[in-house]
Structure 1
C-alpha cells in the first residue's frame, strides 16, 4: 500500500525530532548566541587577543564541568549504542577541546596554572549542566548538553564558509569546529536525543534546553565584556 501525504504514516516519518522542536522554540536566543558580536569578530580576526584569552580562562573551567555532565549522561544511557555515542562526545572534549583550549590560552599569553575565579555565568552554566545531567533522565541531560556542542558546530561551519581569518589563532579555533568529524558528532548527538524522545519529560527537556541556550548567549556576552556583564571587569 502506498503512503499518502496526509496519512499518519507519512506524518510520523516527516515530523521533526525533539532536537529540532527544542531549537525552534528558542530560535531567537539561539540566533543571538550564534551571531553574537564576539563570534563575528572571531570570524573577521579582529577580536582583541585579551578578550579571547579571557574567554579561554573561563571556558577551560566550564569544560571540566561539561565532562562531568557527559559522564552523568553516560550513566543514564540505556544501552551500548547510546553509551558509544556519548563516549565519542566525551572524548571530543577530553582529548580535543580541553587540550586545544589550554594551547590557545598559552598562545594568547595566559597560563593554565593561573586561572581566575569562575564568574557567575560560568558557575551558573556548570551548575545547570550538572543538575540536568544528574537528573537520571537521558533526554533531559542531552537537552542541557546539546546547545553548546550544536551551536559551536553551526558557528564553525558558518565562519569557515566565510574564509579563514588572517590571524592563525582564530583560523585554528574555527577549524576545530568546522570539520566533517565534528558535524558528524553533532548529528549523532542530536539523533540520540531524537531516538530517546519517547522517554522524555518534554517540559523538563524544554526547560533544560532553554536554560542552556540562554547560558550560551550569556557566556559569549560575559567573555566579550571581559566580565563586565557579570558585574565586574
Structure 2
C-alpha cells in the first residue's frame, strides 16, 4: 500500500464516515435538499480561499525549487481555475459572486481550514500535505464512486455537474499527482516515530471533512 492507503486503513472509521456521509449519498441520487447544496457552495468558496493559502504556505516551506513549483501549481489551480469554476457553478444555483465573497465562514469551515494551516505552520511539508490529502484525494474517491451510481450523471440529477467535475479526468489526474507527491515526501521524511503523528493529522482532517458535509446538510453557521 502507498501512504494514502495506509492512512485510510489506519483511520478507516473516520474515512467511511466522510466518504459515506448522507450529503454525499444525496449528491449521487439527487435527494440532497437544494438549500443544503447552496449553503455548501457558499462555504466551499470560502474554504477554497483558505486552501489556496495552504498551498502558498507549502511554497514558503518548500526546501527545493521543485517542491516550490508543485505548491505554486496547486495555488494557481485553486485561485485561477477552481474558484472561477465555482463562481460559475454557484451562479447557476442563484448565487452571485458578491453572495460568495461577503458570506461569513461557518464554524465547520473555520475549524477545518485553520487546522490545516496550523498543521502546516507547526510541521513540515509532509505534515501539511497529509492534512490536505482528505480533501483532494477524498473528493476524487467520492467522485469516482458517485459516477457509478445509476442516474448520478443523468440530466434528472440536479447535482450531475458536481459529480462530473470530481469524477472527470482533470480532477482525477490532479489527485493522482497529489498522491504521488505524498509518497515522495514520505520516502524522504517518514519514520516510524512520525507515523502516529501523521495518522492523527489525517484522522483529524478526515473528521473535519465529515463535519463540513454535516454543516452543508444542516445549513449550520
Task: State the 1:169 CA deviation.
Answer: 4.8
User: Structure 1 stretches of 5 or more lacking a match?
Assistant: 1-15
Residue 25 (str. 1) matches residue 10 (str. 2): yes
Match among 207, 213, 218 for residue 214 of structure 1? 207
Where does 1:123-202 land on structure 2 (aligned, <5 Å)? 123-162=110-149, 163-167=152-156, 169-197=158-186, 198-200=188-190, 201-202=194-195
Given that 2:29 and 2:157 are in contact with CA atoms closer than 8 Å, whether structure 1 keeps it comes out as: no
Residue 223 (str. 1) matches residue 208 (str. 2): no
Structure-2 change in CA distance of 1:62 and 1:54 (3 Å):
same
Q: Which has the larger radius of gyration?
A: 1
Deviations 1:15-45 (A, max 9, x none): x332222121111211121121111111112
Looking at structure 2, the residues matched to 26 and 99 of structure 1 have their Cα atoms a distance apart, in angstroms, of 33
Match of 1:203 in 2: 196
Deviates more, 1:48-57 or 1:216-225: 48-57
Given that 1:69 and 1:134 are in contact with CA atoms closer than 8 Å, whether structure 2 keeps it comes out as: no
Structure-2 change in CA distance of 1:105 and 1:167 (3 Å):
farther
Task: State the 1:168 CA deviation.
Answer: 6.5
CA RMSD of aligned residues (A): 1.9
Structure-2 change in CA distance of 1:225 and 1:45 (3 Å):
same
Looking at structure 2, the residues matched to 86 and 19 of structure 1 have their Cα atoms a distance apart, in angstroms, of 19
Looking at structure 1, the residues matched to 156 and 116 of structure 2 have their Cα atoms a distance apart, in angstroms, of 33
Match of 1:99 in 2: 84
Match of 1:40 in 2: 25
Q: 3-state SS of the aligned residue for 2:76?
A: helix
Deviations 1:36-82 (A, max 9, x none): 11111111122222111000111111110010011111222232333
Given that 2:143 and 2:163 are in contact with CA atoms closer than 8 Å, whether structure 1 keeps it comes out as: yes
Structure-2 change in CA distance of 1:111 and 1:181 (3 Å):
closer
Deviates more, 1:201-210 or 1:42-51: 201-210
Looking at structure 2, the residues matched to 88 and 68 of structure 1 have their Cα atoms a distance apart, in angstroms, of 13
TM-score w.r.t. length of structure 2: 0.88
TM-score w.r.t. length of structure 1: 0.83
Match among 101, 107, 112 for residue 97 of structure 2? 112
